Structure 1
Amino acid sequence: MSKRAKIILGIIAVLFVAVLIWLGKKNQKSIITYETEKPFKTSIERKAVATGKVIPLEEVDIKPQISGIIDKIYLEEGAIVKAGDLIATVRVVPNIQSLNSANGLVKNARLTYDNAKIQYDRNKKLFDKGVISRQDYETSLLNFNNSKQSLYNAKSDLDIIKRGTTAGLGRTANTNIRATASGMIVEIPVKKGYQVIQSNNFNEGTTIATIADMTKMIFEGKVDESEVGKLVKGSDIEVALGAIDGKKFPAKLNFIAPKGTEESGAVQFKIKADVSLDDKYFVRAGYSANANIVLEKKDSVLSIKESLLRFDKESEEPYVEVKLNDNGKFEKKTVKLGVSDGVNVEVLEGVTANDEIKIWNKASKDKDKDKEEDS
């Protein structure tokens, strides 16, 4: 054998020995082990969150009884009023056609009155002389009184068209806008000079002010159709306001809409709840709010973290892997689940309190060390 061949064989032998040594070290590495966690007992609540706002339970819109222009506003938003307090006055702008018609009625009534007065005066003299009967006299008296009343009514109608009131109405003038309920003025949507329309059978009229009882507030929100079936009237809920951090107001559910409305492809149902206010906080109308509604609650039940669960690809049944012994082997066990709060889930069947359940994607430090050596 030549010297060159011996050198090549020597190099091959050295490489072979090196490979054997490397494989030996590789096989000596520790088996990958996973951390485990035991089931535990805890209380679990399943909640639904309804978004909405808080609004006054009683709210009244003040509308004028006559059309015109706002002449003066006496109060501001936030003022406390009692029923009958003056809020604003309206200056009447007469309708030309109505004004002309009213003037015509006054003139006709005056002509009728003048004619009836002449007949009455003549018949009275004749009756006093015994020329005509009492019936003729009383007929002329009745006609005179009717014409007098018709003239008065026509003049009153003309005054109302011109000024919105008449002398005989006194404090009940339609031009004075007064509070019809006690409470706080939460909104005045008009200003001096705004034109307003009266409230009638064909038009709801212009709102001059809104009065609300700020001591009685309700939460009004919406819940999804998947949760509305589990709500019960009279349930206690908690309302958190976006404007007041760290404070939750107790409330009682009192209304669940029988019909839902579709919003962005999902059916939503309106709910209402009476909110118990705290005197330390002033809750303004229209605050955005979230209501936490407990749908289901269980105390001290055997539970595991939801992150420990896996689902079978075929049957889609939930399962966990339970440690058999210290050799690092695990056994797959199907579990039956109960109520969940999104973090913890109740386990009805499948594992016991002493079982050690694999924590997925979390190996021991030995595995992490081996990865560093390989790199």
Structure 2
Amino acid sequence: MSKRAKIILIVIAVLFIAALIWFGKKNKSAVIEYETEKPFKTTIVKKTVATGIVTPLEEIEIKPQITGIIDKIMLLEGSKVKKGDLIATVRVVPNEQALISAQGRVNNIKINLNNAKVAYERNKKLFDKGVISRADFERFELTYNSSKQDLQNAQNDLLIIKKGSAGSGGAANTNIIAQISGTILEIPVKEGDQVIQSNNFNAGTTIASIADMSKMIFEGKVDESEVGKLIKGTDIDVSIGAIEGVKFPAKLNFIAPKGTEESGAVQFKIKADMSLDEKYFIRAGYSANADIVLEKKDSVLAIKEALLKFDKKTEEPYVEVKLADGTFEKRELKLGTSDGVNVEVLEGVTKDDEIKVWNKTSKDDKKNNN
């Protein structure tokens, strides 16, 4: 055999060995061992989380009965009060124009009263002598009595402008007292501030806000996609950001009939009565989250959501079930409630089926997805 023929045989042998090695590696890489899991019975709870705040059930704002200046503040924010306790006093500062006008009205009525008195006394003497009739005399008497009443009314108006009251009620008008028992949440004014009384055209100046801190509610919002699943009376758990690791039970008692649009989504307000723990002091305005159960299924057949695949054409969910010969068969599923980890299976597999765990990807898997 020539040298050239030997070289050709050696090259052919090397190529043959390389081909065998390449095919061996290819066949070896094509073998993928998949783990399997079986469906199981479990309880699936679908929840939603509503964000909001903790606020008192009863909170009122105390406003003055007169316009004036804050003379003295007796209590501080956070103080506990009983109904009737004095919170602050208001000093009346009369309006000069109103004061002059009221004083002028009193003087005018005094002049009219003096004239009416003179006429009354003159005609009374004539009536006593029988010169004039009773009807004529009664007209002068009525004018005199009316003038006396007008003077009394004008003097009362003048006192109200000067002191805030025409009688013993002056202290009641200038004293700001608690209307309910509770805790003073806020006193937004300070001594020397001017305050305005509440009337038909002005809400008035708030001197203090008081709330019963023993009765708190959770107030939050839920999305329109979930509000239809809420039911009044549902038990919920409220977690307060400032108190870690503690959940307060609450009962849903209000779902708003009208939503409001926020950032492109419609939100509905909800409220829930909270059951408090005496070990914790809950402050008004704490941020909180409420876990609300939307749906609960007990002892249903379920699988992990990680086992699911979705057909790209039909978008239907499916899994691959292991057969007796070790191959896998595609099974389309009908799903029920999901909690984000486990999902209820209504149709498609049984509790004895072994489902492929998608730990690796092969060409066959890609073909199934396509």
TM-based fold match above 0.5 = yes
Q: CA deviation at 1:69?
A: 1.8
Please, which runs of 5 or more residues in structure 1 have no aligned partner? 364-375
1:56 equivalent in alignment to 2:62: no
Partner in structure 2 of residue 12 of structure 1: 11
Residue by residue over 1:62-84, the C-alpha shift from the partner in whole angstroms, topping out at 9 and shown as x without a partner, is: 11121122111111112222222
Which of residues 342, 361, 367 is equivalent to 2:340? 342
Deviations 1:156-205 (A, max 9, x none): 21121122123443543x22222222222111111112221110111111
Find the residue that maps to 1:361 and give its secondary structure. Answer: coil
- For the residue of structure 1 that corresponds to 2:65, the secondary structure is coil
Matched, 1:225 2:192: no
Give distance in 2, aligned partners of 1:168 and 1:54.
42
Q: Report the 3-state secondary structure (helix = DSSP H, G, I; strand = E; otherwise coil) of the residue aligned with 2:284.
A: coil
1:66-105 equivalence runs, <5 A:
66-105=66-105
Relative to structure 1, the CA distance from residue 310 to residue 21 in structure 2 (aligned partners, 3 Å threshold; closer, same or farther) is closer
Q: CA RMSD in A?
A: 2.4
Report deviation, 1:137: 5.9
8 Å CA contact retained: 2:62, 2:207? yes
1:108 matched to 2:104? The reply is no
CA distance in 1, matches of 2:10, 2:73: 107
Aligned to 1:371: none
Q: Confirm or deny that 1:331 pairs with 2:329.
A: yes
**Residue 200 to residue 170, structure 1, CA distance change in 2 (3 Å):** closer
> 1:281 is matched by which residue type in structure 2?
Y
Aligned length: 360
Paired residues of 1:60 and 1:212 also in contact (CA < 8 A): yes
Distance apart, 1:89 and its partner CA: 1.5
Inter-partner Cα distance in structure 1 for 2:26 and 2:266: 60
Q: Deviation at 1:224?
A: 0.8
C-alpha distance 53-163 of structure 1, shift in aligned 2 (>3 A): same
Matched with 2:302 is 303
The CA deviation at 1:94 is 2.1
The answer on whether the counterparts of 2:78 and 2:185 sit within 8 Å (CA) in structure 1 is yes
CA contact (8 A) 2:77 2:186 kept: yes
**3-state SS in 2 of match to 1:218:** strand
Could you give the per-residue CA deviations for residues 285-330 of structure 1, whole angstroms, max 9, x where no partner exists? Answer: 1111111111110122111110110011111110001122464x21
What SS is found at the alignment partner of 1:83?
Answer: coil
Give the letter for the 1:105 counterpart.
R
1:124 CA drift (Å)? 5.5
Instruction: Give how far 1:26 is off.
Output: 2.5
TM-score (norm. length: structure 2): 0.89
3-state SS of 2:282 partner: coil
Instruction: Give me the whole-angstrom Cα distance separating, in 2, the residues matched to 1:158 and 1:27.
Output: 108
Residue in 2 that maps onto 1:40:
40
Kindly provide the CA deviation profile for residues 322-364 of structure 1, in whole angstroms up to 9, marking residues without a partner as x.
Answer: 122464x21111111111000111111111222221111358x
Distance 1:180-1:211 versus aligned 2 partners, 3 A rule: same
Task: Give the corresponding residue for 1:372.
Answer: none
Structure 1 window deviating more from structure 2 (272-281 vs 131-140): it is 131-140
Q: Residues 106 and 151 of structure 2 are in contact (CA less than 8 Å); yes or no, is this contact kept in structure 1?
A: yes
SS in 1 for 2:50: strand
Q: Does residue 313 of structure 1 match 2:316? A: no
Q: Is the 8 A contact 1:35 1:362 kept in 2?
A: no
Task: Name the CA distance, whole Å, in 2 between partners of 1:141 and 1:21.
Answer: 138
Residue of structure 2 equivalent to 1:246? 245
SS at match of 1:231: coil
Greater mean alpha carbon deviation, residues 333-342 or residues 13-22: 13-22
CA shift, 1:120, in A, is 4.3
**1:64-114 deviation line (CA, Å, top 9, x unaligned):** 121122111111112222222221112222223211210111111221233
In structure 2, stretches of 5+ residues that fail to align are: 362-370
Q: 1:322 matched to which residue of 2?
A: 321
Contact in 1 for aligned 2:32/2:360 (Cα 8 Å): no
Taking a change above 3 Å as real, the CA distance of residues 138 and 16 of structure 1, as seen in their structure-2 partners, is: closer
What do the CA deviations read for 1:18-64 (whole angstroms, capped 9, x no partner)?
A: 41552464267372111221212211100111111121111111111
